[in-house]
């Protein structure tokens, strides 16, 4: 019983500090970018600041600090709990819902004419892909309505949570099929990733494509471990520019 008790306490934890990178040109798009396990919003905001994407506002929140099962209960910044990274590990729906709701909440105050996106690295990428499924399904895992309208999703070195139930969610309603078909998703993964195995990225991409996410792009990088490289970020810039119709790239 103590475990369930722990979970209620854990869910009451605060999200950390949010870092914002303002657009250097005309504001066309806002993207919430989510860090990986044990990281914070600051490190990614510094990298995103350097990208030649003047029309994007980046919001980089910090995850709550919570006990992580894979670390033997040791606390870390994390969007949700992870038992172990295996095909059959149970998904922490409650944690995923809380993280996806935090993202939707951050996007909720953006102007109506601004396109919205979510992206992230590792566990942040998993949360982004989970947000994509909530958006297409129209609700969170707990059944509450999902409020945000997503125009693009980027997942670096991540995986798709709840992939086994994706088919049922999409088939359940016609609107979900339409939303899935039109949502652009970019997945990038290093073949040398020893933290989130490459096959997880590959399988996630296949699961999305085979469930009606027709605009899914999967990019692999030989020898890349569990981190990002300029070549990958260049790919992200080009993809976002083309999918979101961004005006101009600054050099």
| pLDDT score of 172 | 67
DSSP assignment, residue 70?
G
Extended beta strands in the chain, E state: 19-21, 29-34, 56-60, 65-68, 74-77, 115-121, 152-156, 185-190, 216-221
Q: Which residues contact 27 (CB under 8 A, 6 or more apart)?
A: 55, 57, 111, 114
Which of 122, 128, 157, 205 is an active site residue?
122
**Could you say which residues of the chain have pLDDT below 70?**
1-12, 87, 172, 248-251
| pLDDT score of 10 | 45
User: Token pair for residue 231?
Assistant: 């070549």
Establish if 79 belongs to a structural domain: yes
Which of 76, 209, 215, 226 is an active site residue?
226
| pLDDT score of 2 | 32
Establish if 251 belongs to a structural domain: no
Whether 193 sits among the annotated catalytic residues: the reply is yes
Residues in the chain, total: 251
What CATH number should be reported for the domain holding residue 213? 3.40.50.1820
Establish if 250 belongs to a structural domain: no
Q: Indicate the pTM of the whole model.
A: 0.93
| pLDDT score of 232 | 97
| pLDDT score of 169 | 76
Q: Note down the domain range covering 235.
A: 16-244
Establish if 163 belongs to a structural domain: yes
Number of independent structural domains in the chain: 1
Whether 122 sits among the annotated catalytic residues: the reply is yes
Establish if 249 belongs to a structural domain: no
CB 177, CB 170: distance < 8 Å: yes
Establish if 3 belongs to a structural domain: no
| pLDDT score of 11 | 52
Establish if 7 belongs to a structural domain: no
- Cα separation, 140 vs 72, in Å, equals 28
| pLDDT score of 174 | 80
Which of 39, 81, 92, 193 is an active site residue?
193
| pLDDT score of 4 | 39
Whether 215 sits among the annotated catalytic residues: the reply is no
């Amino acid at each position: 019983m103590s475990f369930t008790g722990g979970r209620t306490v854990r869910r009451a934890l605060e999200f950390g500090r949010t870092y914002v990178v303002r657009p250097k040109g005309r504001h066309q798009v806002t993207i919430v970018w989510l860090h990986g396990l044990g990281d914070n919003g600051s490190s990614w905001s510094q990298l995103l600041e350097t990208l030649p994407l003047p029309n994007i506002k980046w919001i980089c929140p910090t995850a709550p600090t919570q006990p992580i099962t894979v670390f033997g209960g040791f606390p870390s910044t994390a969007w949700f709990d992870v038992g172990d990274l295996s095909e059959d590990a149970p998904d922490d729906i409650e944690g995923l819902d809380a993280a996806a709701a935090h993202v939707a909440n951050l996007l909720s105050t953006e102007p109506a004419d601004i396109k919205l996106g979510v992206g992230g690295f590792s566990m942040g990428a998993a949360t982004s892909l989970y947000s994509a499924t909530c958006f297409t399904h129209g609700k969170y895992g707990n059944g509450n309505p999902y409020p945000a309208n997503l125009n693009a999703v980027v997942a670096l070195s991540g995986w798709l949570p709840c992939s086994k139930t994706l088919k049922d969610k999409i088939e359940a309603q016609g609107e979900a099929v339409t939303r899935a078909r039109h949502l652009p998703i970019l997945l990038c993964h290093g073949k040398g990733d020893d933290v989130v195995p490459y096959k997880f990225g590959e399988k996630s991409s296949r699961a999305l494509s085979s469930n009606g996410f027709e605009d899914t792009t999967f990019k692999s990088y030989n020898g890349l471990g569990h981190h990002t490289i300029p070549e990958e970020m260049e790919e992200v810039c080009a993809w976002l520019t083309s999918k979101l119709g961004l005006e101009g790239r600054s050099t």
